[in-house]
Structure 1
Amino acid sequence: MQWRQRRGPAGIALALVLAAAALPLRAQDAGELEWQWRAEPVAGTHDVELVFTAPIRHGWIVYGSDFEAGDFGPRPARVAVHAGGEVLQPARSVGAHARSDRNFAGEYRYTYFADAATFRQRVRVEPGAREVSGVLNGQSCHEESGLCTLFRAPFAVALE
């Protein structure tokens, strides 16, 4: 009986208010990162260095790539190449900040970006390949709310 009473105009108004309150955070969803990428040749080799960059919305951070994932806590960024080349070493975080946190199981050290993120990944190019493609996977969090999202950014970089 109570449910039927709340489904009236007051119940609908409450539902609309709650939905509207969720919109600002959703609009800032870090999953909306706009990644750009390019390939830089490594002199004297058949390698390229893939460079991934993205601006980060105010209040959000993107976790770096140069720490180990634990059972709990942030997930480091990783690059997987599916065609055109072979990953030679882990991705590097360029200009990342370092932080330790006791909220995770014990002392946990990780790297992160605020404002903008840059990752560099060295790749051995397959003979005759015209592009390198794959995916950049990572995690971002809104510092104030604690909301965290995983991102998956497919890429295809043309080779010259």
Structure 2
Amino acid sequence: MSDSAPSLLFEAVTSPPQSLNRQGQRLVLGLLGAGIGISTLLFTIIGAWPVIGFMGMEAGLVVMLFALHRRHAARAQERIALTEASLCVRHTDAHGRVTEAAFAPYWARVRLEAGPSPRLFIQERRRRLEIGRFLGGEDKRDLAEALNAALGRYRDPRFDNPQLR
């Protein structure tokens, strides 16, 4: 056995929800383009042809914002990893900036604050870090349960010794 990275005991990766795949995005943009095209045609028929340029700029702006949002949302994620050595939280924001925090797994506690939009924290002594910001209430509860279970297994490991059976 080599002295490489410690073994991974638990891992959770969260990212912002993306309700539209590429095909859905094309459909929405196509419908928007059709609506703008029909409106442009109607304005041209009634003699308001200067509106064509503004509608074209509006369509271009919407397409650009769709693409920008998709690119930023694809970049953002949060990775929570429990190893034998530490509990690491790595958060990458939409601009690609990475922040990392490491906790001692034995002392780390998971706290879920109830409310209209629950908040999930990892706490170690006086340090506290919010996790699961991309998740909804039920998903935060599931993550809290799974992480608590993993930390419980870390703190109280069960060994299967056939000689003791």
Q: TM-score, length-normalised on structure 1?
A: 0.33
- Which is strand-richer, 1 or 2? 1
- Considering Cα pairs closer than 8 Å and 6+ residues apart, tell me whether 1 or 2 has the greater RCO: 1
Q: TM-score, length-normalised on structure 2?
A: 0.32
- Which is helix-richer, 1 or 2? 2
Choose 1 or 2 for highest CA Rg: 2
